[in-house]
Amino acid sequence: MTPTLHLGQTLSFDANPFEAGIAAARHQRHGGLVVDGGRILAIGAGDAMRAAYPAADTVDHGAGLIVPGFVDAHAHYPQTAMIASWGKRLIDWLNDYTFPEEMRFADPGYARDIAGRYLDLLLAHGTTTVCSFCTIHPDSVDALFEAAEARGMRVFAGKTCMDRDTAPAGLRDTAQSAYDDSAALLARWHGRGRASYVITPRFSPTSTPGQLQALGALWAEHPDCLMQTHLSEQVDETAWVKSLYPDARDYLDTYESHGLLGAGGLYGHAIHLEPRERDRLREVGAGLVHCPTSNTFIGSGLFDMDGLMREGQRIGLATDTGGGSSFSMLRTMAAAYEIAQLRHRALHGSELLWLATQGSARALRCDHLTGNLAPGLEADFTVLDLASTPAIAQRSTHADDIWETLFATIMMGDDRAIASTWVGGRKAGPVMQKAGERK
Ligand code: GUN
Ligand code: ZN
Q: What is the ipTM of this complex?
A: 0.99
Please identify, by atom number, the ligand 1 atom nearest to the C-alpha of residue 300.
Answer: 9
331-334: which pairs have CB atoms within 8 A and are 24 or more residues apart? 331/293, 331/413, 331/414, 332/72, 332/292, 332/293, 332/356, 333/410, 334/410, 334/411, 334/412
Expressed in angstroms and rounded, the spacing between residue 190 Cα and the centre of ligand 2 is 21
Please identify, by atom number, the ligand 1 atom nearest to the C-alpha of residue 237.
Answer: 1
Expressed in angstroms and rounded, the spacing between residue 366 Cα and the centre of ligand 1 is 24
Q: At 93, phi and psi to the nearest 5?
A: -60, -40
Ligand in closest contact with the CA of 74: 2
Please identify, by atom number, the ligand 1 atom nearest to the C-alpha of residue 230.
Answer: 1
Expressed in angstroms and rounded, the spacing between residue 114 Cα and the centre of ligand 1 is 18
pLDDT for 434 equals 38
Length of the chain: 439
Among candidate residues 121, 125, 127, 138, the one with its CA nearest the CA of residue 79:
121
Ligand in closest contact with the CA of 237: 1
Expressed in angstroms and rounded, the spacing between residue 321 Cα and the centre of ligand 2 is 7
Domains and CATH numbers, the chain: 4-69+372-437 (2.30.40.10), 70-363 (3.20.20.140)
Going by alpha carbons, the residue nearest to atom 1 of ligand 1 is 230
Q: What is the C-alpha to C-alpha distance for residues 197 and 413, in angstroms, rounded to an integer?
A: 32
Please identify, by atom number, the ligand 1 atom nearest to the C-alpha of residue 323.
Answer: 9
Expressed in angstroms and rounded, the spacing between residue 237 Cα and the centre of ligand 1 is 11
Per-residue pLDDT of the chain (439 residues; tens, 9 = 90+): 899 999 999 999 999 999 999 999 999 999 999 999 999 999 999 999 999 999 999 999 999 999 999 999 999 999 999 999 999 999 999 999 999 999 999 999 999 999 999 999 999 999 999 999 999 999 999 999 999 999 999 999 999 999 999 999 999 999 999 999 999 999 999 999 999 999 999 999 999 999 999 999 999 999 999 999 999 999 999 999 999 999 999 999 999 999 999 999 999 999 999 999 999 999 999 999 999 999 999 999 999 999 999 999 999 999 999 999 999 999 999 999 999 999 999 999 999 999 999 999 999 999 999 999 999 999 999 999 999 999 999 999 899 999 999 999 999 999 999 999 999 999 998 544 433 333 3
Please identify, by atom number, the ligand 1 atom nearest to the C-alpha of residue 320.
Answer: 9
Residues within 6 Å of ligand 1 by CB: 76, 90, 94, 98, 202-203, 230, 233, 294, 298, 320, 323
Expressed in angstroms and rounded, the spacing between residue 283 Cα and the centre of ligand 1 is 25
Among candidate residues 357, 342, 425, the one with its CA nearest the CA of residue 59:
425
Please identify, by atom number, the ligand 1 atom nearest to the C-alpha of residue 98.
Answer: 6
pLDDT for 429 equals 82
Q: What is the C-alpha to C-alpha distance for residues 418 and 56, in angstroms, rounded to an integer?
A: 24
Going by alpha carbons, the residue nearest to atom 3 of ligand 1 is 202
Q: Report CA dihedral (223, 68, 373, 427) to the nearest 10 degrees.
A: 100
Ligand in closest contact with the CA of 89: 1
CB within 8 Å of 231: residues ≥ 6 apart? 203, 251, 252, 255, 267, 268, 269, 270, 273, 277
pLDDT for 423 equals 98
Under a CB-based contact definition with an 8 Å cutoff, are residues 386 and 396 in contact? yes
Expressed in angstroms and rounded, the spacing between residue 308 Cα and the centre of ligand 1 is 22
From 101, 131, 320, 326, the mutation candidate for ligand 1 (largest count of ligand atoms within 8 A of CB) is: 320
Going by alpha carbons, the residue nearest to atom 7 of ligand 1 is 323
Under a CB-based contact definition with an 8 Å cutoff, are residues 287 and 318 in contact? no
pLDDT for 1 equals 83
Going by alpha carbons, the residue nearest to atom 11 of ligand 1 is 230
Ligand in closest contact with the CA of 294: 1
Q: What is the C-alpha to C-alpha distance for residues 199 and 157, in angstroms, rounded to an integer?
A: 8
Please identify, by atom number, the ligand 1 atom nearest to the C-alpha of residue 203.
Answer: 2
Expressed in angstroms and rounded, the spacing between residue 22 Cα and the centre of ligand 2 is 31
Looking at the whole model, is its pTM more than 0.80? Answer: yes
CA distances to 16, 206, 257, 272 from 254, rounded to whole Å, are 32, 12, 6, 15
Establish whether the linkage from the previous residue to 322 is cis, with ω within 30° of 0: yes
pLDDT for 430 equals 57
Expressed in angstroms and rounded, the spacing between residue 323 Cα and the centre of ligand 1 is 7
